[in-house]
Amino acid sequence: MWGISLLVFREVLEAALIVTIVAAATRGVARRGWFIGGGIALGVLGAIIVARFAVAISNAVSGIGQELFNAGVLLAAVLMIGWHVVWMSSHGREMAHQMKAMGGAVQAGASSLTMLLAVVALAVLREGSEIVLFLTGMKVGGANGLVNGLALGIASGTAVGFALYFGLLRIPIRYFFTATNWMLVLLAAGLSSTAARYLVQANILPELGSQIWNSSWLLSNGSVVGKMLHILVGYEATPSGIQLVFYATVVILLVVGMRVFGHVAKPAAANTQSDAAPMIGVPAAH
């Protein structure tokens, strides 16, 4: 049971961290719970379907179907996170202002929310399909404690996600969406670097240097902390050159996108900030 719960924990953790960042980034948005819950439900359904067709996926495109599938899922998530981040750069301050003015609920753009629903679904799908395959194998092998192991793994992985979420809520609201936006940028960059790794594994992309550095003596990607940082900021103990290229490209594109589109909304944002500034920290000052 412990072995089972440990593997389930690791997979759930990866998905839970992504869901947590999305949950934080959509703080105060009306109907957010439905979008996140819906994303998780779709992801679970997708995971079962993907696991069911695992053999077909694996054999597709002369044996590189798995890599293409994973890279495709990851890059789709990168695109959707990118879209949301750039959209937020022109609406984020407005949202923070509204939240204070109206005591919570914000009407965010439906398309931006749908993007994040898809990001949640894809994260759950990717990690969930591994859990389904693993449990299927365990069942064939006649292992005991499947249900308990699954429950314990999901509970502990989710608990870490909640802990991170409540930690993030401590960020002052004025900086909150800036912080979550940066977290989304680094998440997207990390996912793109993992996508690059799959494409190298399938020999579609050149590696451009197999181990640009090796920091596994300090923090291995096999450890729980290493795994968490791998998801949160794309930490790699032994990155290849192409992974760094993908990572840097996504960061640069998103930062430029945020600048360009954030600029368009400057006049309104400047107003918001001057209105909002006195509201921050006032209770503490009294």
**Residues at the interface with another protein (CB under 8 A):** 3, 7, 54-55, 58-59, 63-64, 66-67, 130, 133-134, 136-138, 140-141, 197, 200-204, 206-207, 210-211, 216, 220-222, 226, 236-240
- The C-alpha atoms of residue 248 and residue 260 are separated, in whole angstroms, by 18
Least separation in angstroms between CB 229 and another protein: 13
Q: Which is nearer to another protein, 107 or 211 (CB)?
A: 211
Least separation in angstroms between CB 22 and another protein: 24
Identity of residue 47: A
Least separation in angstroms between CB 234 and another protein: 13
Q: Which of 246, 238, 237, 235 is nearest to 204 (CA)?
A: 246
| Main-chain phi, psi angles of 106, to 5 degrees | -125, 140
Q: Which is nearer to another protein, 99 or 205 (CB)?
A: 205
- The C-alpha atoms of residue 187 and residue 42 are separated, in whole angstroms, by 21
Least separation in angstroms between CB 136 and another protein: 7
Residues in Cβ contact with 255 at an 8 Å cutoff, skipping those fewer than 6 apart: 185
Q: Which is nearer to another protein, 121 or 202 (CB)?
A: 202
Please give the structure tokens belonging to residue 185: 């940028």
**With the C-alpha atoms ordered 16, 73, 237, 63, is the resulting torsion angle positive or negative?**
positive
Q: Which is nearer to another protein, 178 or 201 (CB)?
A: 201
Least separation in angstroms between CB 66 and another protein: 6
- The C-alpha atoms of residue 70 and residue 206 are separated, in whole angstroms, by 18
Q: Which is nearer to another protein, 226 or 257 (CB)?
A: 226
